[in-house]
């Protein structure tokens, strides 16, 4: 027999160990100066403010959920950079297609905090945004938003708009068939889409190592021939530069980009979940040392741009914002079955008309 093909060698070549793209390390030092973005002091402060807002927002809504004031919610602590700095890198008019965990970037994108509160509680107000807000509601089906983003991107391209669709998915979601289909469709049409895989370590209880044998999630872009990058998702500057560059690349007609942001979900999957069943305390602590807030704080403090007092003011403002939003959410008109029936079709069929009349009468009693 002739020589056998060395698959092991091929696998090593195609599935290599790579380090994430990083600009600022865990100590807050700039380690990749060539890519350091040219940001003003105000912008640097804004980036920190938005992340502090995200952390405090998560704290407040989590407390409210535990108190039973809000429905079950997916916490976001640990993902402030990957969610909020990627959104920060977008332009007005860009579209967002979030998963269920990506409520904070939606708020930064224009969705009202009141509507976010109503989303957790299951009110249609939390799903229906002003037309000027370019965002889909949070997606619950894993991966559905990925193929929809390909459609939004294609539409933007056909319109000649210099905008992108940015969509988020978790590491678990990258195992879904729709993830591949979305990447593949966007690739074929050179659609301006930024796919953000937030690798936060676990799909509920299933670790990243059980999702796929590929060394990174971003390398799945190779399979469909699209640009991709493995990024330190707790490095705000790396996230910013990666998203900004992907945006520029996509709107210039070169096609979609898949970004993997390596991050960590400090909390549970949702507040009904107990992560002590599937991960060790030590693992969480290791990730704590990489926290985006810690490293950005160090960086800014050294420049004299950040103080504890400033941080406390942002936290206080955020608490006030959530409280006001909660109050406002209670004043939104109550949902009715007749209202539900009215929104099923634009032109109401006879069968629904009959049911509408029935519920209208029932609700009037």
Partner 1 sequence: MATRNMVEAITSALDVMLEDDEKILVFGEDVGKNGGVFRATDGLQEKHGERRVFDTPLAESGILGLSIGLGAVGYRPVPEIQFFGFVSEAIDSLTNQMARMRFRTNGTLTCPITLRSPFGGGVGTPEIHSDSYEGFIAQMPGIRVVVPSNPYDAKGLLIASIRSNDPVVFLEHLKLYRAEKMEVPDDIYEVPLDKANIVKEGHDISIVAYGAMVKEAINAATILEEIGVSAEVVDLRTIAPLDIETLQQSVSKTGRCIVVQEAQRQAGVASHVMSELAERLFLDLEAPLSRVTGPDTTYPFPLGESMWLPNAHDIVRKVQNIMENY
∠ Cα 52 167 45 (to 5°)? 25
- Binding of partner 1 at residue 93 (CB under 8 A)? no
* Out of 153, 170, 233, 268, the residue judged to bind partner 1 by CB under 8 A: 153
* Out of 343, 358, 361, 362, the residue judged to bind partner 1 by CB under 8 A: 343
Phi-psi region of 49 (alpha: psi -120 to 50; beta: other; left: phi over 0): alpha
* Out of 32, 59, 124, 270, the residue judged to bind partner 1 by CB under 8 A: 124
- Binding of partner 1 at residue 357 (CB under 8 A)? no
- Binding of partner 1 at residue 350 (CB under 8 A)? yes
Which helix (H) or strand (E) segment holds residue 97: the answer is strand 95-97
Distance in Å, CB of 49 to partner 1, minimum? 29
Non-local CB neighbours of 51 within 8 Å, separated by 6+ positions: 80, 81, 84, 85, 236, 292, 293, 296
- Binding of partner 1 at residue 110 (CB under 8 A)? no
- Binding of partner 1 at residue 148 (CB under 8 A)? yes
Distance in Å, CB of 336 to partner 1, minimum? 12
Mark residues 13-42: x for contact with partner 1 by CB under 8 A, - for none: ------------------------------
- Binding of partner 1 at residue 179 (CB under 8 A)? no
* Out of 141, 204, 313, 361, the residue judged to bind partner 1 by CB under 8 A: 141
Among candidate residues 332, 333, 336, the one with its CA nearest the CA of residue 112:
332
- Binding of partner 1 at residue 158 (CB under 8 A)? yes
335-344's contacts with Cβ under 8 Å and 24+ in sequence apart are 335/123, 335/124, 336/363, 337/362, 337/363, 338/363, 339/124, 343/124
- Binding of partner 1 at residue 137 (CB under 8 A)? yes
**Phi, psi (deg, nearest 5) at residue 28:** 85, 15
Phi-psi region of 225 (alpha: psi -120 to 50; beta: other; left: phi over 0): left
Compare residues 312 and 354 and give the one whose CB is closer to partner 1. 354
Q: Are 98 and 108 in contact (CB under 8 A)?
A: no
List the beta bridge partners of residue 97: 167
- Binding of partner 1 at residue 188 (CB under 8 A)? yes
CA distance 171 to 260: 9
Distance in Å, CB of 66 to partner 1, minimum? 26
Structure tokens belonging to residue 71: 């429905």
* Out of 26, 77, 181, 273, the residue judged to bind partner 1 by CB under 8 A: 181
- Binding of partner 1 at residue 258 (CB under 8 A)? no
* Out of 284, 305, 328, 352, the residue judged to bind partner 1 by CB under 8 A: 352
- Binding of partner 1 at residue 270 (CB under 8 A)? no
CA neighbours closer than 13 Å in the CB half-sphere of residue 207: 7
CA distance 125 to 337: 15
- Binding of partner 1 at residue 331 (CB under 8 A)? no
Distance in Å, CB of 187 to partner 1, minimum? 9
Active-site annotation, residues = 265, 269, 278
Binding segment for partner 1 among 23-31, 67-75, 129-137, 313-321 (CB under 8 A)?
Answer: 129-137
- Binding of partner 1 at residue 321 (CB under 8 A)? no
In this structure, the number of other CB atoms found within 10 A of the CB of residue 221 comes to: 23
Distance in Å, CB of 105 to partner 1, minimum? 18
Q: Are 157 and 186 in contact (CB under 8 A)?
A: no
CA distance 293 to 299: 10
CA distance 303 to 287: 25
Binding site for partner 1 (CB under 8 A): 95, 97, 124-125, 127-131, 136-137, 141, 144, 146-156, 158-159, 165, 177-178, 181-182, 184-185, 188, 340, 343-347, 349-352, 354
């Amino acid at each position: 027999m002739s020589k056998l093909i060395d698959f092991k060698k091929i696998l090593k070549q195609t599935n290599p160990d790579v380090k994430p793209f990083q600009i600022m390390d865990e100590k807050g030092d700039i380690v990749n100066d060539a890519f350091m973005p040219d940001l003003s002091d105000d912008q640097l402060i804004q980036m920190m403010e938005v992340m502090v807002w995200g952390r405090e927002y998560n704290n407040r809504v989590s407390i409210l959920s535990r108190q039973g004031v809000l429905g079950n919610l997916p916490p976001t602590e640990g993902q402030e950079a990957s969610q909020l700095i990627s959104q920060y890198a977008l332009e007005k008019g860009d579209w967002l297609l979030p998963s269920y965990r990506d409520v904070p970037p939606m708020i930064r994108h224009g969705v009202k905090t009141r509507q976010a509160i109503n989303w957790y509680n299951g009110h249609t107000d939390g799903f229906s945004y002003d037309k000027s807000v370019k965002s889909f509601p949070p997606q619950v089906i894993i991966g559905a938003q990925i193929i929809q983003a390909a459609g939004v991107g294609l539409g933007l391209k056909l319109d000649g708009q210099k905008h992108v669709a940015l969509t988020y998915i978790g590491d678990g979601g990258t195992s879904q068939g729709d993830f591949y289909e979305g990447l593949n469709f966007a690739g074929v049409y050179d659609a301006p889409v930024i796919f953000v895989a937030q690798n936060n370590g676990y799909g509920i209880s299933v670790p990243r190592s059980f999702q796929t044998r590929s060394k990174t999630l971003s390398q799945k872009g190779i399979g469909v021939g699209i640009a991709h990058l493995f990024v330190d998702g707790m490095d705000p500057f790396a996230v910013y530069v990666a998203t900004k560059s992907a945006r520029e690349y996509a709107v210039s007609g070169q096609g979609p980009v898949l970004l993997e942001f390596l991050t960590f979900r400090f909390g549970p999957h949702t507040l009904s979940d107990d992560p002590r069943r599937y991960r060790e305390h030590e693992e969480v602590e290791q990730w704590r040392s990489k926290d985006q807030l810690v490293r950005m704080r160090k960086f800014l403090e050294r420049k004299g741009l950040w103080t504890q007092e400033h941080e406390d003011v942002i936290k206080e403002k955020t608490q006030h914002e959530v409280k006001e939003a909660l109050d406002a959410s209670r004043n939104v008109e109550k949902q009715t079955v007749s209202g539900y029936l009215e929104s099923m079709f634009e032109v109401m069929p006879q069968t629904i008309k009959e049911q509408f009349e029935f519920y209208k009468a029932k609700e009037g009693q």
